[in-house]
Amino acid sequence: MLAIKSLSKSFDKGKSYALENVTFDLKAGDVCAIVGESGSGKTTLVRLIAGLERPDHGSISLDGNIIASMDKFVQPEKRKIGLVFQEYALFPHLTILDNVLYGIFKLKNKKARAQEMLDLVGLGEMGKRYPHQLSGGQQQRVALARALAPGPSLLILDEPFSNLDAMLRMQLRNEVFDIIKKTGVTVLFVTHDTQDALSVADEILILQNGKVVQKDAAANLYVKPNTLYVASLFGNTVQINKNLQSAFHCPLNEECCHAIRNEKIKVNPAALDSDCDYITHAKVIKKIVLGDSIQLLLKLDSGEQLTVMTQDKNIEDTITIGFNSKDILEFNE
């Protein structure tokens, strides 16, 4: 339903690109998360799709019609896209109900639709209040109700949970996506938090420096990341460079880049444990007790430093570490 073709946007007349040659598709009914660090171009991408910015190159089409290209631009108000802003952007001088009513035009019974939306987000009783009388989480849900009210074919959520603390965030994330799934709308969900993305998205698109590095099903990204960057987004990862290869006696293909997730490195594996193909010895430089588990900073004979986690409380100064060859990640970088 949404097709983006070699989309580029620069804010400094082409000296640098906030978004460069981005191409991807979105199927109707999908929930797709866009993940990237701040400055990776997530928000620019969202604003381009919503029509709040204009592309320098490339095109965006929605349901088969081009809505933005180099010679065409459909105004945001004509696009029928729902957008929930990071800062909610509720109209401060309108009641909650009026906020939700604002975008409903064509329906006969506007009020009923707005009330239905408020009921959906569990704020049916609050219609007469003003935005500043609500908590952050409630405002968030109003913003969602407002965006859903006109019945958009595509809903975009721009970092919707970043203003909330960790506990509330998880709770609200589940609530919000329960509501969204009921409506069956296609969702583009921007976040810098991989937990957010993994827990709700069917597909995840990774942006780095304005470029798409990978778009894949959530499960695949962990198992088969395209780059070391993607791998490290989903947990600490260490590159197996020449030194590590010799330390572990594991010669690897020189044309590829290899890495291992820190959590896959085992501490003191049983001597004949077939689980570990490669082992080496390491000195413990530092132990940091993190509640139940212990973080170890290790130094290998080759001089390399490594961090591993263990639950073993009896750690001596020198330990054995190892990993399984099937856990090695391979990239063509």
Partner 1 sequence: MKQAGSNDQAFAFKSRVKRFLRDANKWSVFTLTIVLFLALPIIFIGVELFSGPGETWSHIVKYLLPDYIWNSLYLVFFCSLIVLLLGVSSAWFVSRYEFPFRKQMEWLLILPLAIPSYIVGYAYAGIFDYGGTLDLIFRELNFEFIRIDIMNRAGLAFVLSISLFPYVYVSARAFFLNQANNLLEASNMLGVGERKTFFKLMLPLARPAIVAGLVLVLMEVLNDYGAAKYYGVNTFTTGIFRSWFSLEEPETAVYLSALLIIIIFALILFEKWQVRKIKFTSSKTNNKQIQRKEPKKSRKWLIFSLVFIPVFLGFVLPVAQLIYWSFLTASTVFDIQFIFISLQSFGIAITSAIITVFFALLLIYFSKWSALRFIKNIARVGVLGYAIPGAVIAIGIMIPTLALDKWLIGVLANFGIDSGLIINGTLIALFYAYAVRFLAVAYNPIESTALKVDNSIPDSSKVLGVGNLKTFFKIEFPLIKTGVFSAVILVFIDVMKELPLTLILKPYHIDTLAVKAYEYASDEMVMEAAIPSLFIIFTAMIPVIFLNKLLIKK
Binding site for partner 1 (CB under 8 A): 6, 8, 10, 14, 17, 20-21, 50-52, 54, 56-57, 70-73, 75-83, 85-87, 89, 91-93, 102-103, 105, 146-147, 150
Task: Calculate ∠ Cα 63-151-75, nearest 5°.
Answer: 60
Q: Kindly list the distances between the CA atom of residue 173 and the CA atoms of 24, 48, 166, 238, in Å, as whole numbers in the listed order.
A: 25, 25, 10, 31
- Nearer Cβ to partner 1, position 20 or 203? 20
Phi, psi of 154 (to 5 degrees): -130, 135
- Nearer Cβ to partner 1, position 62 or 238? 62
Question: Minimal distance in Å, beta carbon 226 to partner 1?
Answer: 20
- Nearer Cβ to partner 1, position 35 or 90? 90
- Nearer Cβ to partner 1, position 21 or 239? 21
Contact 100, 149 (CB under 8 A): yes
The beta-strand segments (E) located in 193-327 are 203-208, 211-217, 237-239, 257-261, 266-267, 278-290, 293-300, 305-310, 318-323
DSSP assignment letter at 150: T
Q: Report the distance separating Cα 54 and Cα 212, nearest Å.
A: 19
- Nearer Cβ to partner 1, position 80 or 299? 80
68 membership: H or E segment, kind and range? strand 65-68
Q: Report the distance separating Cα 192 and Cα 266, nearest Å.
A: 29
Q: Report the distance separating Cα 189 and Cα 200, nearest Å.
A: 9
- Nearer Cβ to partner 1, position 34 or 90? 90
